[in-house]
């Protein structure tokens, strides 16, 4: 993926996750559901980038099917350049900028709420097409969903809930290749690394799993003990269909367009905004779409887009930001902090 990077072009991570309600259905229809996930994630990303930012989109995506407990948790990690050739003026470079109501110095790719709505709409539309064509395997307890009305009843709650799409800007002081190396862990290896294994006595297997996060980048863990049969069962949940490609490139980074797209990026890309100043990332609020740090627990809720009343928070998921990971003592060994360097986009 490193040949895709161009100096001056920052990269974002975007994660698309299907709801847990669809996990069992996905396990019975892996090839169809995984393809749909890739396609829906890309089409929603391309659509929102083109509508909001008006530049040619590109992405490299990697499929990831597990969580820390080795259970099914299907999602894709996408690396997305924060700029590209302008759609209105192909000979000009366009960088992603926040809308007028946001701070001008804030990292921004697209509106995360719009992106998750688009993703939900496209994925459910794809599910309906698969069902109508008879391409979904519905056996056992799922056999009732062969009926079109029952299938629509099953989808109704999924249309009403908010799906997870998570946008993470590049860590402060990092280079685009640092981001690529951080995400490269999803390209190789299995659902659990050897260092997480604690013991195996031939009957039970014990391993460590994250339970949450604390300030400063450290992570709390617990030991999970499973029978040997259950451990193997969970491992096998993540065996991909024969010949299935888990990493894919789209848009400007796809094979048909890559050479032209990279040439345009090298020719026109520049880190300066309209005022000629290099944008400086802010340390706080690195993930604008998720209030995910301990300091934000008491922050007032967002207003409802329909009635304007303040929304009540029912739950909060704290995701460790790239900034915290790269600045903590647990950062990857290959990453060297650049705390004394002046930020240069891509440098």
DSSP 55: B
Domain range annotation of the chain? 2-191+241-327, 192-236
Indicate whether 290 pLDDT > 70.
no
- For the segment 105-126, the average pLDDT, to the nearest whole number, is 92
Query: Residue 247 corresponds to which tokens in the numbers above?
Result: 């990493």
Predicted confidence at residue 255, as pLDDT, reads: 92
Query: Residue 55 corresponds to which tokens in the numbers above?
Result: 């530049």
Query: Residue 220 corresponds to which tokens in the numbers above?
Result: 């709390």
Predicted confidence at residue 323, as pLDDT, reads: 62
Gap between the Cα atoms of 132 and 113, Å rounded: 29
Most confident among 67-76, 277-286, 294-303 (mean pLDDT): 67-76
pLDDT in tens, 20-59: 999 999 999 999 999 999 999 999 999 999 999 999 999 9
Predicted confidence at residue 178, as pLDDT, reads: 72
Between the CA of residue 213 and those of 19, 179, 209, 293, 325, what are the distances in Å? 22, 21, 12, 9, 11
Predicted confidence at residue 181, as pLDDT, reads: 74
- For the segment 102-131, the average pLDDT, to the nearest whole number, is 91
Q: How high does pLDDT run on average in the chain?
A: 80
Q: Report the run of H or E that residue 204 belongs to, with start and end.
A: strand 204-213
Residue 208's DSSP bridge partners are: 223
Task: Phi first, then psi: give them for residue 260, nearest 5 degrees.
Answer: -65, -45
- For the segment 130-152, the average pLDDT, to the nearest whole number, is 96
- For the segment 218-240, the average pLDDT, to the nearest whole number, is 91
Gap between the Cα atoms of 327 and 245, Å rounded: 33
Give one DSSP letter per residue of 296-346, joined into a string.
Answer: GTTSPPPBPTTT-PBPPP--------HHHHHHSTTS-TT----TTSPP-TT
């Amino acid at each position: 993926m490193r040949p895709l990077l161009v100096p001056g072009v920052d990269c974002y991570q975007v994660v698309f996750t299907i709801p847990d309600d669809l996990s069992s259905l996905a396990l019975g229809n892996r090839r169809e559901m995984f393809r749909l996930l890739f396609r829906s994630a890309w089409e929603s990303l391309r659509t929102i980038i083109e509508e909001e930012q008006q530049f040619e989109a590109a992405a490299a995506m990697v499929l990831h099917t597990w969580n820390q407990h080795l259970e099914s948790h299907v999602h894709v990690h996408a690396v997305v350049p924060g700029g590209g050739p302008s759609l209105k003026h192909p000979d000009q470079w366009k960088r992603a900028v926040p809308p007028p109501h946001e701070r001008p110095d804030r990292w921004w790719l697209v509106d995360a709420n719009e992106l998750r709505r688009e993703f939900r709409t496209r994925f459910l539309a794809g599910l309906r097409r698969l069902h109508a064509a008879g391409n979904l395997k519905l056996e056992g307890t799922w056999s009732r969903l062969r009926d079109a009305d029952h299938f629509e009843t099953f989808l109704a709650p999924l249309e009403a809930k908010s799906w997870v799409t998570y946008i993470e800007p590049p860590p402060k002081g990092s280079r685009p290749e640092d981001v690529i190396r951080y995400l490269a862990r999803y390209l190789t290896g299995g659902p659990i690394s050897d260092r997480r294994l604690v013991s195996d006595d031939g009957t039970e297997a014990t391993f460590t799993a994250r339970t949450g996060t604390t300030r400063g980048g450290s992570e709390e863990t617990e030991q999970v003990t499973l029978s040997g049969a259950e451990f193997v069962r969970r491992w096998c949940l993540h065996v991909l269909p024969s010949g299935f490609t888990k990493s894919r490139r789209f848009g400007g980074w796809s094979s048909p367009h890559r050479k032209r797209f990279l040439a345009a990026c090298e020719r026109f890309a520049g880190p300066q905004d309209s005022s000629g100043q290099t944008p400086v990332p802010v340390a706080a609020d690195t993930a604008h779409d998720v209030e995910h740090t301990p300091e934000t627990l008491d922050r007032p809720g967002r207003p409802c887009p329909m009635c304007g009343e303040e929304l009540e928070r029912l739950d909060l998921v704290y995701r460790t930001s790239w900034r915290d990971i790269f600045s903590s003592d647990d950062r990857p060994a290959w990453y060297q902090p650049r705390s004394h360097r002046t930020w240069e986009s891509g440098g």
